[in-house]
Structure 1
Amino acid sequence: MLTESFLDYLRFERNYSDKTIVEYGRDIAQFRNFLQEGGSEEFVPADVTAEMIREWIISLMDGGCAASSVNRKLSSLRSFYKYLLKRGEVAKDPLRKITGPKKKKPLPAFVKENEMDRLLDETDFGEGFVGCRDRLIIETFYATGVRLSELIGLNDGDVDMSSSQLKVTGKRNKQRLIPFGDELKQTMLEYVNIRNEQTPRTSDAFFVKEDGGRLYKSLVYNIVKRNLSKVVTQKKRGPHVLRHTFATTMLNHEAELGAVKELLGHSSLATTEIYTHTTFEELKKVYKQAHPRA
């Protein structure tokens, strides 16, 4: 039988592992069973059409099979038909124009508003320069949505207190202006006063270490992770989570999608749209908790 000769080819000529060969055989057998359940008396590879394969994909997805598993099964079938073409057993490959299902992208992790309120309003960040700086770092990420590299790259000249805006240099050296509110402005003024009193001016950086040097990524990452751990238990607790939190909060409060795109510095609206899925998922949770017939 063709299936057995294909599996022998994998074992003796391609040196595939026994486990892989078993999986290939199982996938092909599953496809053969699907065709027979649909009315085919026997499995004739040359008679298989692209439509049959698409129907199989749909049945797998309807049965709860993950996109990654479906694509693996399709890979087994593709290898089988390449082998049959090479041997002249079939004249064409029915999978030539078949595209597998796309993997579902995980939704971006974010912190809920009440958790951010608890962190900024009730948490003790410590006294002096370090405590003031660490609080400002958290507040800046949350209030502006800047990237980690953008925050580290801020210089004093990029922070315009009179106009309440940041000049940020993002990916591909593209610059954008981000407004900020009075609360963040007040924290910034307090930080600058303490910084200028307690640290030497060894760089133009806005955010600095105790020796006056510019911050580095791992230091900021640990500052954010340590402080977010005080209010959340989720696995992801880095600076990018606060960027996600900014975007999600803005959309939850009815900000226009295009405006959020510009604030985040996204080149495509499609990148920003993933946050609409996040807000909808949160909306579904609220609905299920609140509606008596949910």
Structure 2
Amino acid sequence: MSTSARDDRLVSEFLEMMAAERGASRHTLDAYRRDLEDYQASLHAAKTDMTKAGPNDVRRYLDELAHAGLAARTQARRLSAVRQFHKFIYGDGIRGDDPTAHIDSPRLGTALPKFLSTDEIDRLIETANRQEGIKGTRLLAMVELLYATGMRVSELVELPFSAVARDPQMLVVRGKGNKERLVPLSVPAKQALAEYITIREAFIPLDKGGQPEKSPYLFPSRGKTGHLTRQMFLNMIKDLASKAGIAPSRVSPHVLRHSFASHLLANGADLRSLQQMLGHSDISTTQIYTHVIESRLRGLVQEHHPLAHKKNGS
């Protein structure tokens, strides 16, 4: 059997294992196959194969990916496929070592959260306020709530009516791990919410007698979930962004969550309080927002500080 045919067989066996033992989807299996075929081609060009490749062959492959201009995240994904494959053939005794054991993953840059400026948030809210009818009232309440609390979109659409039924000063949000947290409500959010509650019944499914059924959700719908879905709200907010003159690609429920956090931090909130309001279990997750503020401050200094425009030695 040729080395190429043997490598093909090993890749097929690896993919069968991923499907049978790990339940990998067809999409995942196709991605693994493409990545391993690319790795295999690199090895064959270097006159070696998957059973003989050493650490230097793996490093050379990563260098090829970098020189080809592939993003660090893509390089890391390719290496992950190669690493899992070599662990598989090592575990099956096909070779006596794993050449990826001491290979470092490409460094991934920290992706800063995307957020809107306060002016853009104002435009979104003002535009939502101009929308007519009960759907406009609901949309304004949802946008105000999301920006005032920093909730995840799943937390928003699944929010129980009982959480706001008594005109609360604080909102009880049930987040990941079924953990509850308290988040204060702003005056505009409370006002928008109060107006929405007066027409909420219009969104509740009707019983056989034509009367609204009981719904546990603050934002009920007649769909099978019983509440407004994340996808529906995403579509609503994209449409709102377009009407507000903001590129829809820049706006999502998560962008509003990031905007809430970034604006609070920029206006003096401390990290611990922000961590609690966002429902982060680890403060290191919250600390990414400090990078946003630091980046903005550096930009302001470079743009406005008089010494930043002087040449060295002048």
Per the normalisation by structure 2, the TM-score is 0.64
Structure 2 distance, partners of 1:73, 1:214, is 43
In the alignment, is residue 171 of structure 1 matched against residue 176 of structure 2? yes
Instruction: Give unmatched runs, 5+ long, in structure 2.
Output: 13-32, 47-51, 205-211
| Residue of structure 1 equivalent to 2:236 | 223
**CA positional deviation for 1:22:** 7.1
Structure 2 equivalent of residue 244 of structure 1: 258
- d(CA) in 1 for partners of 2:222, 2:106: 51
Given that residues 134 and 199 in structure 2 are in contact (C-alpha distance below 8 angstroms), is that contact kept between their aligned partners in structure 1? yes
Identify which range, 100-109 or 184-193, moves more after superposition: 100-109
Matching residue of 1:41: none
Structure 1 distance, partners of 2:261, 2:298, is 18
Q: Deviation of residue 136 (structure 1)?
A: 0.9
Query: What SS does structure 1 have at the residue aligned with 2:114?
Result: coil
Structure 2: how far apart are the matches of 1:198 and 1:69?
Answer: 48
The alpha-carbon deviation at position 247 of structure 1 amounts to 1.5
Match of residue 38 from structure 1: none
**Distance in 2, Cα, partners of 1:74 & 1:258:** 35
> How many pairs does the alignment contain?
271
Seen in structure 2, the aligned counterparts of structure 1 residues 251 and 293 have a Cα distance that, compared at 3 Å, is: farther
Structure 2 Cα separation of the partners of residues 214 and 53 of structure 1: 55
Deviations 1:239-271 (A, max 9, x none): 222112211222222321121111011111122
- State the secondary structure of the residue aligned to 1:225: helix
Which residue of the partner structure matches residue 207 of structure 1? 219
Cα separation, 1, equivalents of 2:165 and 2:310: 52
Structure 1 residues 167 and 58: CA distance shift in structure 2, 3 A: same
Is the contact between residue 109 and residue 241 of structure 1 (CA under 8 Å) also seen in structure 2? Answer: yes
Task: Output the aligned Cα RMSD.
Answer: 4.7
Measure, in 1, the Cα distance between the counterparts of 2:84 and 2:45: 14
Is contact 1:27–1:77 with CA below 8 Å preserved after alignment? no
| Equivalent-residue separation in structure 2 for 1:153 and 1:19 (angstroms) | 39
Instruction: Tell me the SS of whatever aligns to 2:243.
Output: coil
Normalised by the length of structure 1, the TM-score is 0.68
Q: Supply the distance in 1 between the matched residues of 2:11 and 2:160 (Cα, whole angstroms).
A: 58
Corresponding position: 1:120 with 2:122 = no
Query: SS at the partner of 1:178?
Result: strand
Structure 1 residues 219 and 29 mapped into 2: Cα distance closer, same or farther (>3 Å)? closer
Give the equivalent residue in structure 2 for 1:34.
Answer: none
Asked if 1:145 is matched to 2:150, the reply is yes
Please tell me whether the aligned partners of residues 265 and 271 of structure 2 are also in contact (alpha carbons under 8 angstroms).
yes
Decide whether aligned partners of structure 1 residues 159 and 54 sit closer, same or farther in structure 2, where only a CA change above 3 A counts: same
| Identity, % of aligned positions | 29
CA displacement at 1:137 relative to structure 2: 0.5
Greater alpha carbon shift after TM alignment, 185-194 vs 172-181: 185-194
SS of residue matched to 1:266: coil
Residue 178 of structure 1 deviates from its aligned partner by: 0.8
Residue 165 (structure 1) shift:
1.1
Q: Is residue 110–residue 241 contact of structure 1 (8 Å, CA) maintained in 2?
A: yes
Secondary structure of 1:255 counterpart? coil
Aligned counterpart for 1:134 among listed residues 132, 136, 139: 139
2:161, 2:85 → 1: CA distance? 59
Q: Is the 8 A contact 1:28 1:77 kept in 2?
A: no
Displacement after TM superposition at 1:129 (Å) = 2.1
**CA–CA separation in structure 2 for the residues paired with 1:24 and 1:210:** 52
Aligned 1:1-294 pairs, distance under 5 A: 10=7, 24=40, 26=42, 66-67=71-72, 68-69=74-75, 72=78, 95-104=100-109, 106-122=111-127, 124-159=129-164, 163-195=168-200, 200=212, 202-209=214-221, 214-217=226-229, 218-231=231-244, 232-235=246-249, 237-287=251-301, 289-290=303-304, 292=309
Instruction: Write the letter of the residue equivalent to 1:146.
Output: M
Q: Indicate conservation of the 8 Å contact 1:152/1:216, yes or no.
A: yes
Q: Distance in 2 between matches of 1:253 and 1:206?
A: 30
Structure 1 residues 207 and 235: alpha-carbon distance in aligned structure 2, compared to 1, 3 A threshold:
same
